[in-house]
Amino acid sequence: MLTITQALVDQIVAHARKDHPDEACGVVAGPTGSDRPERFIPMLNAAMSPTFYEFDSGDLLRLYREMDDRDEEPVVIYHSHTATEAYPSRTDISYANEPGAHYVLVSTADTDGLGEFQFRSFRIVEGEVTEEEVKVVEAY
């Protein structure tokens, strides 16, 4: 289960809406071993595409060095889908290389009639996708 604050959910959704029609992407870092997302880090989609996202390799290297210096790890890795449901694509699955992370997908398309976005979380380990419950809290 992903436990995340409402403030972080709001920041992720705002980023997805701001970058629409391109996919948005980013990380929420947290203390190593805590499984607690704390620090919102929006990233640039280097692909600048409505159907694909890619972290800039230089930005990603700097982010991992910074997290290492702060004893953090990527607790949430997020991106948006602009025209499809919030479910990992084959490409998303092939690029998922953080087995301990929660992969959050936000859809900015109304694909289910429930509103203008979906917010879902998945674990992706060795190509296997498992959806997990998302518990939104005011604070930890």
Q: How far apart are CA 136 and CA 68, in angstroms?
A: 27
Print pLDDT tens along the chain (140 aa).
999 999 999 999 999 999 999 999 999 999 999 999 999 999 999 999 999 999 999 999 999 999 999 999 999 999 999 988 899 999 999 999 999 999 999 998 865 555 567 899 999 999 999 999 999 999 99
Task: Extract the tokens encoding 1.
Answer: 């289960």
Q: How far apart are CA 134 and CA 24, in angstroms?
A: 20
Instruction: Match 């159907």 to its residue by tokens.
Output: 51
> How many other β-carbons are positioned within 10 Å of the β-carbon of residue 81?
25
What local confidence, expressed as pLDDT, does residue 84 receive? 87
Please give the C-alpha separations between residue 120 and each of 47, 48, 117, in angstroms, as whole numbers.
Answer: 23, 22, 10
Cβ contact 9:135 at 8 Å: no
Cβ contact 70:103 at 8 Å: no
Contacts by residues 66-71 (CB-CB < 8 Å, ≥ 24 positions apart): 67/29, 70/29, 71/31, 71/32
Q: What is the CATH number of the domain that holds 37?
A: 3.40.140.10
Task: State which residues form the domain around 107.
Answer: 2-137
Q: How many domains does the chain have?
A: 1
126 by DSSP, 3-state: which?
coil
Task: Extract the tokens encoding 87.
Answer: 């479910």
Asked if the bond preceding 21 is cis, omega within 30° of 0, the reply is: yes
